[in-house]
Structure 1
């Protein structure tokens, strides 16, 4: 058993209409902590697959013969908000990235990404950390439409300190930087972030920030 296999297994689903690409990713993930538990060639197939398997991560193409991956992203997050979705695409397009983050994506990678960078990125998302840079996150949040209704009920479960941490997350700060600003330990911040993610019912810190933007917890005029 390799060192990677001693790590906690992270189950993953691949959604892309190119079988050769899926085979390549599967090969790359062999002997790592990532276990491919399902594949789909379209958004429709992906939604059907998620009725029988529940991965921690899902790699999703944007443009597929079976339809728009961004529409599939929204459907996945609506039904399975706990699944972290990473868009993997050939399109280096700021508009697509903004739509992806606003729609629920935890990351946006280009298909030309190297093997080590892909593995590192997947590990970042699996750990609940932000894969998207503060600049890209700020730009993406501007496309998020506030929901307005029911805000008080939705944010009520968060404590004052958790709301403070959530606002700092929106600036793109990592746990260490937040700890320094709040004069607490990095472990304390990590616990706060885990509680925030759990209470909001989202998959990771990026989507916690998107939730905050939708419900007026953070200002989109700044950052």
Structure 2
């Protein structure tokens, strides 16, 4: 006999609509095929960008052309779509510009698999990644972006490998100042005393 006292069954979240942009046809075809095979997202053709919940943009270097693609996606979706950018590196100025177009996630391309990209797209559709925002500038300074959680994890991983700030900045294509800011943010968030304790805490908690 059915239990009429039970609440309504939870309706599963619909798969987000994703459009993929890439400057390499092989990367575009491979990413699209992987996304379609998993069933976690609905992949739309480029001509249906206006319907997309998330746009995944994959490139090598972040260039003015890359930012133009982000701008176009923003215009076509009325600023509604969230954007995940996958690139080899990005400057602080480019991050600030990309955020105005709706970028909510950034993945370092050489360290990202198809699964990482799908996870980032799904998380972005749910609003889970920490949005990249700008903080108040200091005297004579431009606002610095608040680091993405993914970038924090990258910095922690490299610290765990024994790399110093200069080496990390070079490997991730960021400024030393930004790397120091990421470390300071993580140390404060974890409530520990220094970067060594932050790495130990991350390992103990299974973050690394």
Task: Give the TM-score taking structure 2 as reference length.
Answer: 0.49
